[in-house]
């Protein structure tokens, strides 16, 4: 009986460790398309400042796009569980815009490990700025 209990506890610990590793890994991310047709056109050149800041339609589109493409790593409602940066604390204004769009476009990789895949070419500038517009509504200082 004691052996069975030890085996059960050991199995539970091994399963918990395996699940924790799986939860902390980013794995492959398949971007989900974002319909930005209702947003004003902003041209093909990447902007350095969010043209949709405060735009209610962009905020709604950004909320949906964030949930489909970002929440997996950055957390529901932009509240990170520790896998990736908590985007509620992303600086507001142009400097925060520039940091955000750089990461959105190019992703983040260090020492050959991809921490965030690039979304710029896949989702496009309009989707990126819509996500940023929504994130501004979640800002905490």
Domain ranges of the chain: 46-140
pLDDT, position 3:
58
pLDDT, position 15:
54
Q: Which residues, 6+ apart, have CB-to-CB distance to 63 below 8 Å? A: 134
Give yes or no for a contact between 105 and 118, defined as CB atoms under 8 angstroms apart. yes
Give, for all 141 residues of the chain, the pLDDT tens digit. 665 556 555 555 555 444 443 334 445 668 899 999 999 999 999 999 999 999 999 999 999 999 999 999 999 999 998 889 999 999 999 999 999 999 999 999 999 999 999 999 999 999 999 999 999 999 998
| Burial readout 53-84 (b: 16 or more C-beta within 10 A, e: otherwise) | eebeebbebbbbbbeebbeebbbeebebeeeb
Dist CA 34 CA 59 (whole Å): 13
From the options 3.40.1190.20, 1.10.760.10, 3.90.79.10, 2.40.30.200, give the CATH code of 46-140.
Answer: 1.10.760.10
* Burial environment of residue 98 by CB neighbours within 10 A (0 to 12, 13 to 18, 19 or more): middle
pLDDT, position 141:
81
């Amino acid at each position: 009986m004691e052996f069975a209990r030890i085996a059960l506890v050991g199995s539970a610990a091994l399963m918990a460790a395996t699940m924790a590793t799986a939860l902390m890994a980013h794995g492959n991310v398949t971007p989900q398309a974002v319909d930005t047709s209702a947003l004003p056109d902003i041209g093909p050149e990447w902007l350095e400042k969010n043209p949709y800041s405060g735009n209610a339609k962009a905020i709604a589109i950004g909320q949906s796009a964030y949930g489909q493409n970002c929440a997996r790593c950055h957390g529901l409602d932009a509240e990170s569980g520790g896998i990736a940066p908590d985007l509620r604390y992303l600086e507001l204004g142009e400097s925060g815009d520039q940091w955000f769009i750089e990461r959105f476009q190019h992703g983040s990789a260090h020492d050959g490990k991809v921490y965030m895949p690039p979304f710029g070419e896949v989702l496009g500038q309009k989707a990126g700025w819509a996500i940023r517009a929504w994130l501004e509504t979640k800002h905490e200082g």
